[in-house]
Amino acid sequence: MCGIVGYIGRGDVKDELLSGLKELEYRGYDSAGIALMEQNHVTSFKATGKLKNLEQKAKEYAQDGGIGIGHTRWATHGKPTELNAHPHYGTYSYVVHNGIIENYVELKKELEAQGVKFVSQTDTEVIVHLFEKNLEKLGTGDKAFEATIAALEGAYAVLLLSKDVPETVYFARFGSPLMLGRNGKQEIFFASSDAAILGKATEVAYLEENCIGKVENGTIITDFEKGCSDLEYKALRGDKVSAQKGGFRFFMEKEIYEQGDVLSDTLMGRVFENRVHIDELEDMDLEGISAITICACGTSYHAALSSSYLFEHVAKIKTDVVIASEFRYKEPILTPDTLFVVISQSGETADTLEALKMAKNAGLQTLAVCNVDNSSIVRLCDSTILTRAGIEKGVASTKAFATQMAVLWMCALFFARKNGVACDMDAELKALRHLPKVTAEALRHHEKIKRLSKRYLHGHGFFFIGRDLFYPLAMEGALKLKEISYLHAEGYPAGEMKHGPIALADSELFTVALMPKSQLYEKMKSNVEELSARDATILTIAPEILDNIADDFLVIDEHGHVMSEYFEMMVVLQLLSMEVAIRLGNDVDMPRNLAKSVTVE
């Protein structure tokens, strides 16, 4: 949610900022802006919409060497207008900010009482005016910045530069990610995600929570009262090429196609002849654990719900799942026999992070299933199993979900063995090892789905129905469709349709039925028949053609294992939502109103 970049060096400052922002654009694309400083002269550009608009605006400008800050925005306070775009400025200072300033209304009132005129509706603008007021009062940039940060409440990362403090950029991290990269060419980079500095910086320091500092004349200085303590640099691995589209129309499509490969990575070193081995779980003291609570949001929540069936069916361990944004207000009863698990692709989701903090404060053991190493969630959890999906750029999560499910399935098998629960471990492990193949082979449905999609564009709504762990998969199918096609869709338990929603059934109601052969197949058939009798338009995803009850069919393999069916259907649902959205002319990778990483509550 929003992306920040900064650059200090002798290179082309504008290009450095824009190329960094390009990598972060998927995090927010309502508007973007940059500010570039050369000695005590600052030039700034802002544009609404996608980054290309900003590139166009700044195309004549060139600056070799100096300092620059940039931002790509997902609107939280104020509409996506140019005035609300970052960098926000006062009389001589500029700021970019990611996160939320919770006490901005009070601060704004105080500043207005002192004669400050605000031009935007954002929370961010208070930072820059407060800095300038503090500079007038306190006389030095350092003191002014410290006092400014001390007055802010909320979760945020900030970069600030000022004509009155030449050759300097101030930085602060309080609850939103910020990192500092460097290379051997006397260049320093800031970014809210390392995707922006891959291929540029060779080392990265992930700033700790609640710290400030500055870069002055190319030197990083942190000896402030709340200065970031010794920065710990790590080699920055990963290459830019892996984050490019590689011939696919959209990142989402590429990421769907990558799932077989990333699943192989996820399983690597974790699945053995007769057991799964997960170092991160082996290292935890799980002796007193008799229950699991899982917290997550969105797609990760659907992985959580699906996995709760596995934990209960396979490992016989009581498992509750709570939407993270609801968790903390529910006054949950937390007992030490519960393992608290959070699932997050980004590792930065504010709701999930807050739920995690509550569980930690209550003394629970905490485990993250996460895709981004060094993210806030990873750093806070006692232990983390990385999902190894690689950078996911499509806003609609696909490969991250697949790898979360693989990890959670492995965890269920781990607990089954640990607790001595009888299950057909050989069959489970065989199915687990086949996962990459099943997922890759599921792509064979793509051509048929492309053709089918034209019949599913203009109804009055979609129901995705399933039973057991195919119910959360149905919810995930519905979420995928609505976020990129903007069509209304609901995931529903198939058996529950007759308790109300079936009233909506007519030929304009599209139903996608998930019908695995290995689970409650006959019951699903009855539920589909009930809808068919009311003339609903029905697409079945089943191991056979059911032409007496449905209109369209996607025939899946009879794998003999429920999870193989789950993964094949997962790919089918991802492709279906993508093809519908493409036919509707939508930007699949950057759907309206959304952002990849949701760092506000």
Q: Which residues bind ligand F6R (CB under 6 A)?
A: 297-300, 344-346, 349, 352, 396-397, 479, 483, 597-598
**Residue nearer to ligand F6R on the CB measure, 345 or 384:** 345
> Residue 87: is the preceding peptide bond cis (ω within 30°)?
yes
Query: Least distance from C-beta 343 to ligand F6R, angstroms?
Result: 7
d(CA 374, CA 280): 15
Query: Least distance from C-beta 252 to ligand F6R, angstroms?
Result: 9
Q: 53, exposed or middle or buried, with CB in 10 Å at 0-12, 13-18, 19+? A: middle
d(CA 259, CA 9): 38
Query: Least distance from C-beta 371 to ligand F6R, angstroms?
Result: 8
Half-sphere exposure of 12 (CA within 13 A, CB side): 10
d(CA 159, CA 171): 5
Residue 18 three-state SS: helix
Neighbouring CB atoms inside 10 A of 64's CB total 11
**Minimal CB distance residue for ligand F6R:** 298
**Residue nearer to ligand F6R on the CB measure, 168 or 346:** 346
Query: Least distance from C-beta 595 to ligand F6R, angstroms?
Result: 8
Query: Least distance from C-beta 581 to ligand F6R, angstroms?
Result: 12
Strands 234-235 and 489-493 come out as: unpaired
**Residue nearer to ligand F6R on the CB measure, 172 or 598:** 598
d(CA 162, CA 170): 9
Dihedrals φ, ψ of 10, to 5°? -100, 5
Query: Least distance from C-beta 489 to ligand F6R, angstroms?
Result: 13
Q: What is the CA radius of gyration of the chain?
A: 25
**Residue nearer to ligand F6R on the CB measure, 157 or 160:** 157
Percent helix, percent strand, percent coil in the chain, to nearest 5? 40, 25, 35
- Report DSSP state, residue 38: E
Q: Say if CB 9 and CB 64 are below 8 A apart.
A: no
Quick one: CA torsion of 80, 86, 89, 93, rounded to 10 degrees? 170
d(CA 550, CA 531): 9
Query: Least distance from C-beta 475 to ligand F6R, angstroms?
Result: 11
Tokens at residue 86, please?
């970052």
Q: Say if CB 544 and CB 528 are below 8 A apart.
A: no
Cα torsion angle, 260, 261, 266, 267, sign: positive
Query: Least distance from C-beta 269 to ligand F6R, angstroms?
Result: 24
Q: Say if CB 421 and CB 315 are below 8 A apart.
A: yes
Strands 365-370 and 338-344 come out as: parallel
Residue 159 three-state SS: strand
Q: Say if CB 371 and CB 387 are below 8 A apart.
A: yes
Query: Least distance from C-beta 319 to ligand F6R, angstroms?
Result: 19
d(CA 564, CA 561): 6
d(CA 299, CA 344): 9
Q: Say if CB 364 and CB 290 are below 8 A apart.
A: no
Q: Which positions are catalytic?
A: 2, 596
Which residue has tokens 């949950």? 332
